[in-house]
Amino acid sequence: MLPFVWSDDCLRHEPEAEVWVGTRTPATEVPARLVAIRGELLSSGAREVAAQAHDDSALLAVHDPALVEFLRTTWDEWESARLPSDRVVPYVFARKELTSGREPATPAAVWARPGLFAYDTMTLIGPGTWEAARAAVDVALTTVDLVAGGERLAYACCRPPGHHVTRSLYGGSCYLNNTAIAATALLAQVGGPVAVVDIDAHHGNGTQELFLGNAAVRTASVHVDPGAGWFPHFLGFAEESDDTNLNLPLAPGTSDLGWLAAVTRAAEFAAGARALVIALGLDAATGDPESPLEVTAAGYRQAGRILAELDLPIVVVQEGGYDLETIGPLAVETLRGLATV
């Protein structure tokens, strides 16, 4: 039976909204996503494993301690300051050109501090955000423990997602990079190199930046072309590829054939690694409200088969996927494909 790791604390983050082009819009990265996936996993006969608490060492191997401390404390500070917004949202950004490259001051104003660490306005922080993000790290690390302990395949059923977070900056509805933390922990446990294949509809920009030039963790990402106007906009282009990173941007409207060809190239790039982390975004699916890719459930299952043929130990980490009706079945189809070899 496929093991999947779970923590109720991952449900505690309720962003309620995003601020997108200056407008407060309803959040799509909601707790119901994870409830839907868990329900489908249990119906399919998967085995639930409770997340175990891990200390901060793996977290701090990936992220700037200042980012971690900010995420841990900012909601309480915001609430104490009695600000008009019920969520932490930045309004001013500490771009390095503002200080000619010098380290910016830590602002005295609580409401200015998010601008040290946030790179967008749509990733809000509220009560429970830290607890959920930290729980997602424990889910990912417990999943790594299962695979290091001999499971061929295990799935981290976690949120909020993480692949858009760099060493020091959060954004893209992500706070801590669960995939990168899993890859780092897996590298320490099984030896390298480790490969990360990101099949979320959006470029895994945080993971790319964390490991760029690091031969011990190869990263590949299959995603909608940022050049066609899609998040993360500033990177994710094919030209960023090198010996350690492969970007495979796809045109809006790409369906199974083109998407699976890219997944095959990503799998070829991962070949030769000792273990694999899959950043499983389900938002490439047709009908997902957050991307223009048109992948079917059969496509996701086939992607699982392609990656399973690498015959590597596999940690799957949940990333995006926003259609509450289909994300559960899509996760199960992918895991079935991965379990076929």
The tokens for 216 are 């011990």
Please, what is the angle between helix 327-338 and helix 297-308, to 10°? 30
Nearest residue (beta carbon) to Zn ion: 320
Q: Is the Cβ of residue 153 or residue 201 nearer to Zn ion in the bound state? A: 201
Among 18, 283, 323, 333, binds Zn ion (CB under 5 A): 283
User: What H or E segment, with its residue span, contains residue 33?
Assistant: helix 31-43
Output b/e per residue, 290-299; b: 16+ Cβ within 10 A.
bbbbbbbbeb
Q: What's the min distance (Å) between Cβ of 283 and Zn ion?
A: 4
Name residues contacting Zn ion, limited to 189-218 (CB under 5 A): 200-202
The sign of the torsion formed by the CA atoms of 32, 307, 243, 202 equals negative
Q: Which range, of 129-137, 238-246, 259-267, 273-281, touches Zn ion by CB under 5 A? A: 273-281
Going from the C-alpha of 238 to that of each of 120, 241, 272, the distances in angstroms are 23, 6, 22
164 classed as catalytic? yes
Q: What's the min distance (Å) between Cβ of 108 and Zn ion?
A: 36
- Collapsing DSSP to helix, strand or coil, 318 comes out as strand
Q: What's the min distance (Å) between Cβ of 290 and Zn ion?
A: 6
Q: Which range, of 52-60, 77-85, 186-194, 314-322, touches Zn ion by CB under 5 A? A: 314-322
How crowded is residue 35: how many other Cβ atoms within 10 Å of its Cβ? Answer: 14
Residue 29 lies near Zn ion (rule: CB under 5 A): no
| Selected catalytic residue, list 13, 63, 164, 223 | 164
Q: Is the Cβ of residue 160 or residue 304 nearer to Zn ion in the bound state? A: 160
Residue 18 lies near Zn ion (rule: CB under 5 A): no
Q: What's the min distance (Å) between Cβ of 123 and Zn ion?
A: 13
Going from the C-alpha of 185 to that of each of 61, 141, 258, the distances in angstroms are 9, 7, 32
Residue 281 lies near Zn ion (rule: CB under 5 A): yes
Residue 147 lies near Zn ion (rule: CB under 5 A): no
What is the amino acid identity at position 250? L
Q: Is the Cβ of residue 115 or residue 304 nearer to Zn ion in the bound state? A: 304
The CA distance from 140 to 5, in Å, is 8
**Residues labelled catalytic:** 164
Site for Zn ion, rule CB under 5 A: 200-202, 281, 283, 320
